[in-house]
Structure 1
Amino acid sequence: MWRRALLTAATLTFCLADATAAGDYELVMHLKHRGLPELQKAFRQISDPDSARYLKFLSQTELATLVGATDQELEEARGWLLRLGAEPSSLRVSGLRDTMSARFSAPAGSANHGVGVEDRGGWWTQLGASQRPESVQFVVRRDHLTRSAASGEKGRRSVFKGLNSSFGEYTVPKIKAAYGMPVDLVAGNDTTLQMVWGPGTFGYSPLQLAAHKVAECPLLDLSKVHFDTANHGKSGGDNFGEGNLDVKMIASFGLNVKTIVSNTNTSASTEEGNGFGQAMLDFITDLAARKVVPHVLSLSLGSLSSGSCKLLCESVGKEGKFTEGECNDFLQTQRQVCMFISDDQTARINTAFQLLAVRGVSVFGSSGDGGSHYSFQPFSGGAIADALSEVSCKYQMPVFPTGSPYIVSVGGTMWKGDGSHPVAWEEDKTYGTGGGFSWQFGMPDWQKKAVAAYLVNTTGLPPASSFNKAGRAFPDISGVAVEGTSQSSPLVAGMFSMIVDKRLSKGLPALGFVSPRLWKVAAAYPGEAFLDVTEGGTALTCDNGFPAAPGWDAATGWGRPIWPGLLKHLGEDEVTADTLVI
């Protein structure tokens, strides 16, 4: 569930979760990618169902050769780190040769030892810019964790409803029945992998998962779920509840697929502040460099995009009531609002999503819980909050990472009467499915025809000046989200894991970046793979938003899954087994 997170002071350092000494810190150099035009070409061809190169994924070694640094560039970067005082034995190069890290020793309490921090915009941590090698794009500093991860749940939705409580009509068996998915369908291939991720207190309770198995999913094999990191979260934290929901959903709908739970940082700043964006970049960068990658990844956490945050503060500043600096400071007191530092940061994350796609990973992301105007709900806290809420209602404020054109954005639905009648998810006009158009990323070709039809044929659209009609449109599809879109993303991701499992058992490759194929199937075979959702919208507390409509719409995408149709159109193709190199 997308929950607003408190941004701490605008610093770009963040915490290490290991057992290093209190004064130790780590520098991570992100090296400039070579061959980006070739990567983008490979991405388009590998993801295009009509291409001869479709689903011919690249291995870690092939990708490192394509985008990684040269031996000379790595040697120059290594020498620079050593001259700065790096511990030689700590030097590490990623599997894609696009990052290099090293540990440094510093007196305890010297939080910015030798490191200059640039606040918002530009590269995040500027260190010796005049002396660093040309191949270094930016450098980030991680400090030793000196404070515990966030453990409170302040600012969350007033009622966090468990799946075994008052929403009994939305049990796993009933949702599967509504989607036409057999309740006893289990994975049959031991190599199929699915993953959920989050920082801070993100984790899950084996006891709660066991109780969920007894109550709703008796065939769930608990031994299939495990962590791949030493960080197992912290009970009571915001992201711990998030992790519990993610695991329950992906494990129930990707039934008995091997499920990886990953928490790559335990710092409070990565759960409640702008360190989240760096934690996500670190995770995605590392994941793309692994020898073995999951077939399906679900990302439920996120916030307003950097472009949305910039628009908010620029607009408030122009009104003259508050300065942009005061706006930024206030946003740092709100939960899960602006957790990405800049467009540069999100662009690098976007590239990492492309790297995962050409490795064969299908990434799914929650579309947000604040309609098309907020991360989560209107701002609170005095006159500046009122001013920001007023600006938010004038514009459609896209969120990230769901606004990336390289993941599948999953919106939310609920039932009107019973499971046969889905509508856009909305709760008390305060929370509801996210949707809209990216300010930063352009609309991919496979979206243009259907989106144009929506914009031309739909009445009740928000003012054209309030959104970027040429931007990436989201969501792509939707799923049950009575617990927020953090329920719908892992739920739908688990269903796609089962399709991948069927494909792997037939000797076919995984689906990789599946959006182009989804849009093609939805347009060519209406009503077969997705049930159209035509009621509801994204306005919530504002007087404008995107309405659900026939065909694709910016509230629920193409609609909710129909399992037999998905399996029919995605479970088969003419790609042979020798193309799978994951």
Structure 2
Amino acid sequence: MRSLSIWLALSLSAIVCAVPAKDCAHKLKETVPPPRGWTKLRPAPADHTIELRIALPQPNFSVLEKHLYEVSDPFHERYGEHLSKEEVEALVAPHDESIHLVNEWLASHGIYEDDLSRSPAKDWVMVKVPVSLAEEMLKTEYHIWSHDASGNAIVRTTSYSIPEHLDEHIELVQPTTMFSRMKSLKSTVRFSDVEISSLAVNADQPPISVPSASGGKVDASCNETITITCIQQLYNAVGFTPSAKNGNQIGITGYLEQFANIADLQEFYADQRPDALNSTFKTILINGGLNNQTLSEAGAEADLDTQFAFGLTFPTPGTFFSTGGSPPFKPDVLTPDNSNEPYTEWLNFILKQENPPQTISTSYADDEQTVPVSFAKRVCEGFAQLGARGVSLMFSSGDGGVGDGDPDPATQECFTNDGRNVTRFVPLFPLPAHCEYGPKANQYIDLKLLHSVTGVGGTIHVPETAVFFSGGGFSDVVIPSSPYQNSAVSTFLDQLPAGTYEGLFNPNGRAIPDVSAQADLFKIFLSGEAILIGGTSAAAPTFSGIVSLLNSARLSQGLPPLGFLNPLIYAIHAATPSAFNDITVGNNPGCGTPGFNATKGWDPVTGVGTPNFGKLKDILTAL
């Protein structure tokens, strides 16, 4: 029967297009308005190389969604029964006829099997071609576009077409219409204005009483400087030692030539984690990524992430993934580097791994509205594959409050990018706002109601309050919100005075963040010097460190890792609210507004709150 269906498909394609595939009638696949904040400079050089990524449909993805929902639902009998790499790949594999018809189209342009690469499931085809050939294949014109604010430039088009008979066999082709400038959440790493040498803490100052903390107390110094000890005390994790031999791992992603310096790590360990001295992490280089160890090249983002994530979880094996790609395109260079989106390079790599880390933290993103919905959908389907395999993914929620990620209200651009230039709060991507899966269809972008990444907002000081830059709000792309967060989010919205920010946000959209953690005044070592630094880039690896400790506790008892967290988070919050420290003070201003307020229960500044490791461990090792 399968061979018959392929024969029928090929026969129909011959009827539809009885000429070489490259000469078939084309159909417009995607178009976007001229992107706000970008200027078209001139046609792209004909010999500029682009790696086209062609996404083939995943006809059985709904089955994968069902598995993801069941293994992630703590009330389901299959909770924790994660799928293998091979099982996941079988569920996302395209039909044979899609593979054949796309091969036929590529061959008509002189591109054969030896010229391309495929994802393990064959749902992505990657081929490097010059702009001139890409324009012929997609019936489009590429131009050099310059970003007005930064001066960065990329090669993109605002529309493209594919042969009509391939419309059901190709979901998208990129890079085409995506004008994202993936970066370290614009300014998510925030250097403190306080000189660390000027800090003077009275050694006799009594500890701060925090009932939920380890021993009910937190060192007074933690109001001026956050260290590993502060996190352990505040989140009730003092005394727990993870295993180095139970298979648990934690990973940190790095992009844009952010290098994690090992000498800085040793300085950090000497200062805050002496038992970890002379230990290090594994570095994996992806797509030409580097991790140069010259002190002057140490990256603030990379050092922050690795020092706190690996410091919190020592001796758990840690991995730093350094992914190359998407350097600023130089319009005056005749042979520029490839300008692809680097996040997909990492995602494709990690999906190929047999045993990826069970916990992975990321602190990079861009405005939601710069990312085509088709691309967001496919990235989220990649996240879903990892979630089904038992991987927990954390993303920092951004540092612009309800704004576009820019922590400076004077330079925030809080307008839609659809040609209307309407004032709007601006969520970020990639974040859980995009990645929705589950049993009910979301008609707006045909995603589902269960998402597979966790957004982490920020707090500050002891007792904790919301930090002003904590990104949060509601997606304009994913509607409606997730079923497991509906009750928590509805409670917040019901308490919001009628008309508040009407028209500035979508109250029916997926709400972020899910959780939060400390996000400012972190003491790290950068280029050999001690500095204070902050941002939700600090919150994400901190919360990830707590998740990794929980995974270690479970694995040591023969239990599976936590995997996709959000159904579990909201279920625990509903049943045992004290497992999270509720943050009720603070707000996240942006776009010329005070933003949202932190309130009792979930809020779009701090989510359900910060973790109480001790209580969570007791709950999760009994589950």
Please, what TM-score do these two structures have when normalized by structure 1? 0.76
Q: 1:406 to 1:386 in 2, by over 3 A?
A: closer
Q: Tell me the amino acid that sits aligned with residue 612 of structure 2.
A: I
| CA offsets 1:419-447 (integer angstroms, 9 cap, x no match) | 3x100013xxxxx1111111111211111
Aligned to 2:452: 406
Distance, in Å, in 1 between the alignment partners of 2:547 and 2:506 is: 30
* 1:30 to partner: Cα distance: 1.4
Corresponding position of 2:249: 193
Conserved 8 A contact 1:125-1:141: no
Q: SS of 1:261's equivalent?
A: strand
Q: Give, in whole Å, the separation in 1 of the partners of 2:354 and 2:158.
A: 28
Structure 2 counterpart SS, 1:292: coil
Contact 2:403 2:591 in 1 (8 A): no
Match of 1:525 among 572, 576, 584: 576
Higher mean displacement: 221-230 or 480-489: 221-230
- Report the CA distance shift for 1:386/1:239 in structure 2 as closer, same or farther (over 3 A): farther
Kept in 1: contact 2:188–2:405 (CA 8 A): no
Call closer, same or farther: CA 1:546–1:270 in 2, change over 3 Å: farther
1:160 Cα offset (Å) = 5.6
Tell me if 1:102 matches 2:127: yes
Q: Deviations over 1:349-407 (max 9, x none)?
A: 222221211111111111111111231234667xx969899x99954322222223421
Q: Which residue matches 2:470?
A: 433
Kindly indicate whether the alpha-carbon contact (under 8 Å) linking 1:251 and 1:257 is maintained by their aligned counterparts in 2.
yes
| Count of residue pairs brought into register by the alignment | 503
**Structure 1 residue 446 and structure 2 residue 484: aligned?**
yes
Separation in 1, partners of 2:182, 2:295: 9
Aligned to 1:496: 547
Match for residue 471 of structure 1 among 491, 509, 524: 509
**2: distance between equivalents of 1:179 and 1:152?**
26
1:299–1:461 Cα change, 3 Å: farther
User: Aligned AA for 2:539?
Assistant: S
On the 8 A contact 2:255/2:323 being kept in 1, the answer is: yes
Pair member with larger Rg: 2
Q: Is the 8 A contact 2:557 2:621 kept in 1?
A: no
Say which of 161, 172, 177 aligns to 2:233: 177
Q: How does 1:225-264 map to 2 (within 5 A)?
A: 225-229=282-286, 230-233=288-291, 240-264=299-323
1:489 CA displacement: 0.4
Match of 1:365 in 2: 395
Answer whether contact 1:195 1:259 (CA < 8 A) is retained.
yes
C-alpha offsets along residues 187-234 of structure 1, whole Å, 9 cap, x if unaligned? 333521222223221321111111111111223363333224351256
The secondary structure found in structure 2 opposite 1:223 is coil
Secondary structure of 2:299's counterpart equals: helix
Asked whether 1:536 is paired with 2:595, we answer no
1:511 and 2:557 correspond:
no
Q: 1:28 aligns with which of 46, 53, 58?
A: 53
Which residue among 103, 110, 129 is the counterpart of 1:78?
A: 103
Are 2:163 and 1:139 aligned? no
Q: Indicate how the Cα distance of structure 1 residues 548 and 155 shifts in structure 2: closer, same or farther if over 3 A, else same.
A: closer
Higher RCO (C-alpha 8 Å, min separation 6): 1
Counterpart contact for 2:416–2:424, Cα < 8 Å: no
Shift of the 377–129 alpha-carbon distance from structure 1 to 2, 3 Å rule, reads farther
Q: Secondary structure at the match of 1:169?
A: coil
1:154 deviation in Å?
11
Query: CA offsets, 1:503-526, max 9 Å, x none?
Result: 122221111111111111112112
Structure 1 residues 348 and 74, CA gap change in structure 2 (3 angstroms): same
Q: Tell me if the contact between 1:233 and 1:266 (Cα under 8 Å) persists in the aligned partners.
A: no
Structure 2 CA distance for partners of 1:388 and 1:359, relative to 1, 3 Å: closer
Q: Is the 8 A contact 1:296 1:493 kept in 2?
A: yes
**Which runs of 5 or more structure 2 residues have no equivalent in the other structure?**
1-35, 146-155, 200-222, 331-337, 435-450, 521-533
Q: Is the partner of 2:599 in helix, strand or coil?
A: coil
* One-letter identity of the residue aligned with 2:305: D
Task: List gaps (5 residues or longer) in structure 1.
Answer: 1-5, 16-21, 143-148, 307-339, 427-431, 574-582
Q: Which moved more, 1:473-482 or 1:183-192?
A: 183-192
Matched, 1:56 2:81: yes
- C-alpha change, 1:380 and 1:392, in structure 2 (3 Å) is farther
- 1:487 shift after superposition: 0.4
- Structure 1 CA distance for aligned equivalents of residues 261 and 414 of structure 2: 39
The one-character-per-residue Cα deviations of 1:67-101 (angstroms, maximum 9, x if unpaired) are: 21234433333343333233643432211221122
Partner-residue secondary structure (3-state), 1:504: helix
Counterpart of 2:460 in structure 1: which amino acid? M
Q: Secondary structure at the match of 2:452?
A: coil
Aligned counterpart for 1:462 among listed residues 500, 505, 516: 500
1:554–1:24 distance in 2 versus 1, CA, 3 Å:
closer
- 1:343 is matched with 373
- 2: distance between equivalents of 1:265 and 1:250? 22
Residue pair 1:14, 1:269 contacting (<8 A) in 2 also: no
Contact 1:288–1:359 (Cα < 8 Å) also in 2: no
Counterparts in 2 of 1:519 and 1:172: CA distance versus 1, 3 Å:
same
Distance verdict in 2 for CA 1:543–1:266, change over 3 Å: closer
CA contact (8 A) 2:183 2:366 kept: no
**Which of 561-570 and 370-379 deviates more?**
370-379
Judged with a 3 Å threshold, the aligned counterparts in structure 2 of structure 1 residues 512 and 387 are, in CA distance, closer, same or farther, namely closer
Shifted more, 234-243 versus 347-356: the winner is: 234-243
CA 1:385–1:503 in 2, change beyond 3 Å: closer, same or farther?
A: closer
What is the RMSD computed on CA atoms of the aligned residues? Answer: 4.1
The C-alpha deviation readout for 1:245-282, integer Å capped at 9, x for no partner, is: 111121122222222212222432499xxx99832234
- Report the Cα distance in structure 2 between the residues aligned to 1:520 and 1:240, rounded to whole angstroms: 37
Taking the aligned partners of 1:370 and 1:151, their CA distance within structure 2 comes to 14
Verify the 8 A CA contact 1:424 1:548 in the aligned structure 2.
yes
Change (3 A) 1:134 1:117: farther
1:493-542 deviations in whole A, cap 9, x for unaligned?
A: 01101111221222211111111111111121122x11111100112573
- Give the direction of change, closer, same or farther, for the CA distance of 1:241–1:283 in structure 2 (3 Å limit): same
Query: Structure 2 length as normaliser, TM-score?
Result: 0.71
Taking only the aligned residue pairs, the percentage that are identical comes to 23
* Aligned residue number for residue 330 of structure 1: none
The structural deviation recorded for 1:171 is: 1.3
* Cα distance in structure 2, aligned partners of 1:425 and 1:156: 13
